[in-house]
């Protein structure tokens, strides 16, 4: 069976990009080069259990359980390297949350403006499997 190629309808994004981001069912946040959370959509806030005032404007290190994980993420981002499926333990308001992050940098004229982070909650067992896979990937990349 031959499928007809369908061109993406850019009106989906251009008509109301803010609504698209605000109402996505994936956590979306932006972090400054200094580590300050500049924006979080409602899904991210609900996933972690915080209000906007408790989260936005705070340093991202307040919410990272494993500081070496945060250091690795920020090190890659400051070199304008994106990453996908990065497992992280995060302090939710009422309990530890296991999040799988995908992130890149928004830059203008070679300057790091903020991150573009997308995250989804995963189970503890999926988190541990992802950590093992991620460590294997890191080991291969340093050989």
Q: What is the pLDDT of residue 3?
A: 64
Q: What is the pLDDT of residue 76?
A: 92
What percentage of residues in the chain have a pLDDT greater than 70? 88
DSSP per-residue letters across 98-129: EEEEEEEEEEETTEEEEEEEEEEEE-HHHHHH
For the chain, domains (ranges, CATH) are 15-142 (3.30.450.20)
Q: Give pTM, 2 decimals.
A: 0.83
- Where the chain has pLDDT below 70, the residues are 1-6, 13, 135-143
């Amino acid at each position: 069976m031959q499928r007809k190629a369908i061109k993406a309808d850019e009106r989906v994004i251009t008509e109301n990009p803010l609504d698209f981001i605000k109402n996505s069912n994936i956590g979306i946040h932006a972090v400054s080069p200094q580590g300050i959370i500049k924006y979080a959509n409602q899904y991210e806030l609900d996933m972690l259990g915080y209000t906007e005032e408790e989260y936005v404007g705070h340093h991202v290190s307040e919410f990272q359980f494993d500081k070496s994980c945060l250091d690795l993420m920020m090190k890659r981002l400051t070199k304008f390297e994106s990453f996908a499926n990065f497992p992280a333990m995060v302090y939710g308001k009422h309990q530890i949350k296991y999040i799988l992050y995908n992130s890149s940098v928004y830059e203008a004229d070679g300057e790091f403006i903020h991150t573009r982070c997308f995250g989804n909650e995963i189970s503890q067992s999926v988190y541990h499997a992802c950590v093992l896979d991620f460590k294997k990937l890191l080991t291969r990349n340093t050989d």
